[in-house]
Amino acid sequence: QEVLKFGVKSQTLTESGPAVKRPGESHELTCQASGFTFISDGFAWIRQAPGKGLEWIASLDLGGGGMKYYSPSVRGQFIISTDDYFSAPSMFLYVGCIDFLHCDAAFDYWGKGTMVTVTSATSTGPTVFPLSPCSSDSATTFTLACLATGFSPASLTFSWTKSDTALTDFVQYPAIQRGETYTGISQIQVKREDWNKLDSIKCLASHPVGHLFTSVHPDLMNTVKYIEPTLKVCFSEEDNEVTFSCIAKDFAPKEHNITWQKNTGEITGKIDKIETISAGRAGNETTLYSASSFLSVEPDEWSKGTTYTCVFERKGKDNISKSVTYKESTTTCDGCREADVEVTIEGPSIENMSVNRKGTLTCEVKVNKGRVEKIFWENSSGKEIAGSQMEPGKGKQSTLVHSTDITYEEWSQGTGFFCVVEHDNMIEPLKKEYQKDIGKKTRPSVFMLPPVEHPKAERVTLTCFVKDFSPPEVFVSWLVNDEEAGSEYDFNTTSPVESKGSYSAYGQLTLSFDQWSDSDAVYSCVVYHESLVNTTKAIVRSIGYRTFEKNNVVNLSMNVPDTCKAQ
């Protein structure tokens, strides 16, 4: 990298901007003076290589007859000159063959310096996207984050704006190199009441190759509650058409899409399709919505063995579907038909699988009509799992819950399990399958970012950045002096963000000034991921008040950011 500064006895100096050059290329640096001329002044260029002292390069003495002087070590590589200084005071430094330079000046007045990055690697602009806002339910502020990936060279600067007004109370962490490119992250805190009134906050990433921005919207909140609808499908027959209705009741948020399928394929012979939506009651501060879709088809499209399926779709969530199949005994209905039972399976928690290496599958059976006679579990071979049978009593049945154990190996390998329900109205038992999706496993990289102080709240936030892992299931826990962090600490983990087939997330631990300033306390983030099963099983990164500066981590105030040092 090269930073060149111009020194002169003056008041205002304006230098040319930063540039990226390849080794051997030439470049011209300029410096303009405002409000004065160079008639009787002397000026010079100074350089400073990384980790070395100041080195004089060239100077021009206008008061001494315009004599030019060059350092013997750089003779032939630089040309210093000036224009008609009587009218437009400017001076130039032509660099014939760029080397890694860093410059400063020892004069009465200094220029700000010009950064010239010299690299043989191809310059690449960043990809910029927001991370989901992070906050606990009781917090008064949200932490927003902006991630820039895949850029080179490392010189990238973040800035934040709200309604075209610059925000200064943010933190930028040092860029992290991975291969030939870099990743950078910036964070800013926003009050909860302000965030709820905003359309978005913009994050701008400035890089020598170009400038890119992204917006952090309220709908990115990881606290948005998704409520699944109750889905019902029924039909009615007339002489000239058959009408199917699909009702999705009490769901949130509002955005959704309802589609229809015939025997899992495209519908032909469609007559009409109508959709409606309405806002319903509010539950737990969440507005619930209901929607309906009506499909009319020709009578010959409804025959023996035909199945029509209503599919409720939402971005980022699994589809929900309900079907109705033609039977010889089918009669028209006065209202929506309701399934005898509704079966759902809840998988094991990531915490249990990561820490305890085992978990529980839970089968929930909602009984709408008739009686459930038996519930049991089958393995992927269709054999009943020993000891998994449950026979409900003779009392009232509404919702039945039955569980079975699953090992870490079965879970990570995608072994299938079936919850089997026998009902007195069913000829064949109803089976519901659970199977974890498996794919390529990529080991995460884990970084303990610099601590962030919040002076007004007298709090400190520690951030553990986990990146480039796959599959997306990851668990981040925190230890205090090698013991699990208790309820006196506030900690959370963001939902994984996907980028080019891999995922990134970060966990945060918030503590008081008194807890952080305890010189004997050590705080550790522990990252569990299934790609680590054959090695260390977890990755640990630690930090403490007494040791964090020695570990090359800088404490950054959200009000007055200090200079970042690479970790």
Phi and psi angles of residue 363, each rounded to the nearest 5 degrees, phi first: -105, 120
* CA–CA gap between residue 508 and residue 488 (Å, rounded): 14
Alpha carbon distances (Å) from 270 to 95, 259, 276, 307, 565: 73, 13, 18, 15, 65
* CA–CA gap between residue 260 and residue 154 (Å, rounded): 50
331, 361, 358, 328: which is closest to 346 by C-alpha?
A: 361
Name the token pair of 390: 């449950």
In the chain, the N- to C-terminal Cα span, in Å, equals: 19
* Contact of 74 with 11, CB cutoff 8 Å: no
Name the token pair of 195: 């965030």
In the prediction, which pLDDT does 117 show? 59
In terms of Cβ atoms closer than 10 Å to its own Cβ (0-12, 13-18, 19+), residue 239 is exposed
Identity at 220, one-letter amino acid code:
L
Q: Which residues sit opposite 28 in a β-bridge?
A: 94
In the prediction, which pLDDT does 251 show? 87
> Residue 240: which residues within 8 A CB-CB, separation 6 or more?
299
* CA–CA gap between residue 331 and residue 323 (Å, rounded): 16
**Pairing state of beta strands 452-454 and 556-557?**
parallel
Phi and psi angles of residue 69, each rounded to the nearest 5 degrees, phi first: -130, 135
DSSP assigned state of 325: E
* Contact of 125 with 204, CB cutoff 8 Å: no
* Contact of 310 with 260, CB cutoff 8 Å: yes
* CA–CA gap between residue 362 and residue 255 (Å, rounded): 29
* Contact of 444 with 474, CB cutoff 8 Å: yes
Name the token pair of 532: 């680590």
> Residue 367: which residues within 8 A CB-CB, separation 6 or more?
340, 341, 397, 398, 399, 400
Q: Strand locations in 49-126, DSSP E?
A: 54-61, 67-70, 78-82, 90-95, 109-110, 114-118
* Contact of 75 with 96, CB cutoff 8 Å: no
Provide the CB-side half-sphere exposure for 72 (13 A, CA).
0
Give the residue ranges of DSSP H helices in 196-292. none
The string of DSSP codes covering 480-528 is ETTEE--TTSEEEEPPPEEETTEEEEEEEEEEEHHHHT-TT--EEEEEE
The string of DSSP codes covering 358-401 is EEEEEEEEEE-SS-EEEEEEEETTSPBPTT--B---SS--SEEE
pLDDT in tens, the chain (567 residues): 444 444 444 456 666 666 666 666 667 777 776 665 555 566 777 776 666 767 777 877 766 667 777 787 777 677 777 764 434 345 555 454 334 333 333 344 455 555 555 566 678 889 998 876 666 656 678 788 899 999 988 889 999 988 788 888 899 988 988 888 999 999 988 887 776 666 678 899 998 888 888 887 665 554 556 788 888 888 888 778 888 988 888 888 888 999 999 987 878 666 677 777 777 655 556 788 888 888 988 888 888 889 999 999 988 788 899 999 887 644 444 444 557 789 999 999 988 988 888 999 999 999 888 888 899 999 988 899 988 888 887 777 788 999 999 999 899 889 999 999 988 777 678 899 999 888 888 999 999 998 998 888 899 999 999 999 999 999 999 999 999 998 888 999 999 999 888 999 999 999 999 998 888 899 999 999 988 876 678 999 999 887 666 544 433 333 333 333 333
In the prediction, which pLDDT does 498 show? 92
Domains and CATH numbers, the chain: 2-118 (2.60.40.10), 127-220 (2.60.40.10), 230-316 (2.60.40.10), 343-434 (2.60.40.10), 445-557 (2.60.40.10)
* Contact of 556 with 454, CB cutoff 8 Å: no
Identity at 462, one-letter amino acid code:
L
* CA–CA gap between residue 406 and residue 417 (Å, rounded): 9
* CA–CA gap between residue 360 and residue 352 (Å, rounded): 9
367, 466, 362, 377: which is closest to 417 by C-alpha?
A: 377
What pTM does this model have? 0.39
* CA–CA gap between residue 543 and residue 562 (Å, rounded): 19
383, 371, 368, 393: which is closest to 420 by C-alpha?
A: 383
* Contact of 434 with 416, CB cutoff 8 Å: yes
272, 268, 276: which is closest to 240 by C-alpha?
A: 272
43, 47, 33: which is closest to 3 by C-alpha?
A: 47
